[in-house]
């Protein structure tokens, strides 16, 4: 493929940024990849692994001369990073991010973006429970959605160029209003993670079942809860603090649904339970039909290439 950006700066070099770098290298999409991470260990790892051509000790240094800047830091750190890099951004550059919340990121970053630089917020719906520079891989974004939430009045050319890059990484790109994005993600990502953290916490506090038994017999639904609950604590702390309204809305709806199921179980209403579970099973089939997962059994989670 042809080079889309001459120089890309990755601010933060964890799972998402390192996967972007691996994919950009594999497809020849970028001439030079610069990187910055707060941790010296992460900076050293990026050079050792080889997914960055140059690594800097400050974000301000890393963004100089970059055509595309990717903010891949926790949502709570976006404002500080944006303020640091703003005076050093190249005229005509594009800044994007990979945060799971969009309204809060826009409020944190947009005021710092200078005239002549385009800010195009983004969110890849891809990831694993692993984090750090060693967790990235080139195929992470293949057939996964990457949502963009361009600001009102954004120039179409920078948005189109960024879309070209993301599609070349293998992603499917769509555009959403920031507020709607945050509500949808509260349903499909944020609240499920909170429920997983809660369920694992319940198991941790159970005194009637030993921890050894919980772990020993975890090849069931609990195993999948623990996978989700193993995600980056800093990232998820920031997600819930910055997407309060949507998450609390969906949690309220979840509680109402839980009460319905509690009553059906208490009253022995098998018909209602069967009808409910039939409807929810159709959601799973819809996800498979949409190509966002496979129906292949993986109860042992056999590693696939």
Mean pLDDT computed over 220-234: 79
Phi, psi of 293, rounded to the nearest 5 degrees: -165, 175
The CATH number for 34's domain is 3.40.50.720
301 inside domain: no
Which of 139, 120, 119, 109 minimizes the C-alpha distance to 15?
139
Angstrom distance (rounded) from CA 51 to CA 142: 18
35 and 125 housed in the same domain: yes
Q: Rounded distance, CA 43 to CA 172, Å?
A: 30
- Average pLDDT score over residue span 238-248: 89
Dihedral, 229, 230, 231, 232 alpha carbons, nearest 10: 120
Q: Is the pLDDT score of 304 beyond 50?
A: no
CA angle 15, 29, 10 (to 5 degrees): 40
Structural domain that includes position 74: 5-176
Note whether 55 and 204 are within 8 A (CB). Answer: no
Q: Do 121 and 36 sit in the same domain of this protein?
A: yes
Strand partners, 33: 8
Assess if residue 285 is contained within a domain. Answer: yes
> What mean pLDDT, rounded, does the chain reach?
89
Largest CA distance in the chain: 67
Shared domain for 100 and 190, answered yes or no, is no
User: Within this chain, do residues 169 and 44 fall inside the same structural domain, yes or no?
Assistant: yes
170 and 33 co-located in one domain: yes
Contact between 99 and 123 under an 8 Å Cβ cutoff? The reply is yes
Other Cβ atoms within 10 Å of 20 Cβ, number: 28
238 and 186 in a common domain: yes
pLDDT in tens, 14-72: 999 999 999 999 999 999 999 999 999 999 999 999 899 999 999 999 999 999 999 99
Look at residue 298 in the predicted model and tell me its pLDDT: 57
Distance, in Å, from the CA atom of 205 to the CA atom of 143, rounded to the nearest integer, reads 39
């Amino acid at each position: 493929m042809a080079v889309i950006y001459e120089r890309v700066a990755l601010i933060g070099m964890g799972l998402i940024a390192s996967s972007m770098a691996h994919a950009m290298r594999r497809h020849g999409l970028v001439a030079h990849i610069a990187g910055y991470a707060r941790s010296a260990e992460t900076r050293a790892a990026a050079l050792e692994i080889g997914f960055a051509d140059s690594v800097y000790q400050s974000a301000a240094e890393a963004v100089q001369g970059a055509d595309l800047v990717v903010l891949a830091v926790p949502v709570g750190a976006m404002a500080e990073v944006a303020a640091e890099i703003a005076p050093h951004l190249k005229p005509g550059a594009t800044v994007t991010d990979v945060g799971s919340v969009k309204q809060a990121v826009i409020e944190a970053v947009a005021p710092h973006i200078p005239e002549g630089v385009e800010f195009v917020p983004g969110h890849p719906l891809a990831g694993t429970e692993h984090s750090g520079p060693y967790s990235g891989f080139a195929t992470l974004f293949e057939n996964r959605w990457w949502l963009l939430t361009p600001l009102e009045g954004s120039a179409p050319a920078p948005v189109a160029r960024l879309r070209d890059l993301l599609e070349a990484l293998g992603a499917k790109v769509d555009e959403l209003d920031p507020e709607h994005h945050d509500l949808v993600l509260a349903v499909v990502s944020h609240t499920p993670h909170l429920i997983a953290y809660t369920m694992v916490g319940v198991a941790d506090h159970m005194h009637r079942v030993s921890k050894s038994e919980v772990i020993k017999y975890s090849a069931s639904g609990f195993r999948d809860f623990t996978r989700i609950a193993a995600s980056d604590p800093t990232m998820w702390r920031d997600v819930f603090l910055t997407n309060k309204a949507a998450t609390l809305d969906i949690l309220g709806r979840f509680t109402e649904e839980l009460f319905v199921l509690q009553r059906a179980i208490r009253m022995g209403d098998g018909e209602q339970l069967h009808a409910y579970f039939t409807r929810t099973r159709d959601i799973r089939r819809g996800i498979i039909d949409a190509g966002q997962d496979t129906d292949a059994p993986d109860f042992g989670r056999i590693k696939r290439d």
